[in-house]
């Protein structure tokens, strides 16, 4: 199994300030975990910078210009009450877009089986014309539209297991039949979207979880709702908004998942990808704010993508 791991020092330059949960230490903890000998066969990739043309697949030029204009020469600037930019943020955000688009190229041309992009800033809250929730550009949405246009795909699926609803991804594809967007998330909770009644044109599936729900409820709802919908949709590429803040130790939410639940959902998504699209999966980091839990969860996720834990039950 050829699994790509995208990382770059530019992602550490996005400085969100002292005490902000979406910090550079998140990626340092992941890098330390993935430096273990068991990851020796992981193919490590330094991504290119993304382009404005790629970003314009989802975001208008005026929004890109606004992001650039907001970047301070020093210190931090708040786009909203929790979304921060600093002098290194533009480079990091463009590099994140470059990572997911390069992953699309590598996976779609058969040079790799799947990919995990350890990127920041995250993306799934970024709406086409609005930064929010720590997010500037919607990385996974851009990757989906890039894949559709460059590889003439008719069916793409995005599965989002971050504990927060991906309002930005939903907004990008709310009336687009070629994308199935399926999200599990704590509700009621930030950002206040993601009700089951939000269905787009039948291509949006929202599966709320209640505070205190564990892996039992998580697996039941995926087995009952999201996984059958994916099988029926038969995607030609599966993209994952991989947030690990539904972990029981995460400080920003109250869902009680453990590492094995992330292994389980990764395996289930791989099984569907094997049946529908030759195993083509691209996973991009979203949330996860307890450093130890994040590192352990990403390690299990990546080991499963590599085929090292897939047979474990």
CB contact set of 256 (below 8 Å; sequence gap of 6+): 212, 213, 214, 215, 248
Percent of the chain that is helix, strand, coil (3-state, to 5):
40, 15, 45
Across-strand partners of 150? none
Judged by DSSP in three states, 255 sits in coil
- Is there a contact between 285 and 242 (Cβ–Cβ < 8 Å)? yes
Q: Which residues on neighbouring strands pair with residue 241, listed in sequence order?
A: 160, 284
E runs forming strands in the chain: 3-6, 43-45, 77-78, 84-85, 114-117, 156-160, 179-186, 204-209, 237-242, 281-285
Two structure tokens written together for 268: 């289930």
Contact predicate 106/237, CB 8 Å: no
Which amino acids are annotated catalytic? 125
CA distance 154 to 277: 12
Closest CA to 244 of 161, 135, 124: 161
């Amino acid at each position: 199994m050829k699994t790509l791991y995208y990382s770059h020092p530019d992602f550490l330059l996005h400085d969100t300030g002292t005490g902000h949960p979406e910090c550079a230490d998140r990626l340092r903890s992941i890098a330390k975990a993935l430096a273990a000998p068991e990851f020796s066969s992981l193919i490590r990739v330094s991504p290119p910078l993304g382009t404005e043309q790629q970003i314009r697949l989802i975001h208008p030029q005026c929004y890109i210009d606004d992001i650039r204009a907001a970047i301070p020469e020093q210190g931090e600037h708040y786009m909203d009450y929790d979304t921060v930019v600093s002098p290194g943020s533009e480079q990091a955000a463009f590099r994140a877009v470059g990572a997911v688009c390069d992953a699309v190229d590598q996976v779609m041309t058969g040079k790799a089986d799947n990919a995990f992009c350890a990127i920041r800033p995250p993306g799934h809250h970024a709406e086409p014309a609005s930064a929010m929730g720590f997010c500037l550009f919607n990385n996974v949405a851009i990757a989906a539209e890039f894949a559709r246009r460059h590889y003439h795909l008719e069916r793409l699926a995005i599965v989002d297991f971050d504990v927060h609803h991906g309002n930005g991804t939903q907004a990008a594809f709310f009336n687009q039949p070629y994308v199935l967007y399926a999200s599990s998330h704590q509700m009621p909770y930030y950002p206040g979207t993601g009700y089951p009644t939000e269905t787009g044109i039948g291509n949006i599936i929202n599966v709320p979880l209640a505070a205190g729900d564990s892996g039992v409820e998580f697996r039941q709802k995926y087995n009952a709702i999201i996984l059958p919908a994916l099988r029926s949709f038969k995607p030609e590429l599966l993209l994952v908004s991989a947030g690990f803040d539904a972990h029981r130790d995460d400080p920003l939410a109250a869902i009680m998942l453990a590492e094995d639940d992330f292994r389980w959902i990764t395996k289930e998504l791989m099984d569907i990808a094997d049946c529908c699209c030759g195993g083509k999966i691209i996973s991009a980091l979203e949330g996860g704010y307890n450093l130890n839990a994040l590192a352990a969860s990403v390690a299990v996720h990546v080991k499963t993508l590599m085929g090292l834990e897939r047979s474990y039950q």
